Amino acid sequence: MKQQFEDVPGWSFEIEEVSANVYEVTGTDSVGHRVQTKGTDPDALLEDARKSARTIRESVRASS
């Protein structure tokens, strides 16, 4: 199930268990930017992916 958060509008995130106790979080936005993290703590991975998405979002805004 895809999740969206107010701190990164336009982005959606999905958590998938890719192996026993190994998770992959993928975040995408409407223009094709993508972030991905993999590890054993899905909550920490989601936070890392959101942080990366915020960084990308701020970078894109600054260059516009």
pLDDT band, residue 4 (cuts 50/70/90): very high
List, in order, residues 6 or more apart from 26 with CB less than 8 Å away.
13, 14, 16, 34, 35, 36, 49
Task: Give percent of the chain with pLDDT exceeding 90.
Answer: 91
Domain boundaries, the chain: 2-58
The pTM for the full model equals 0.91
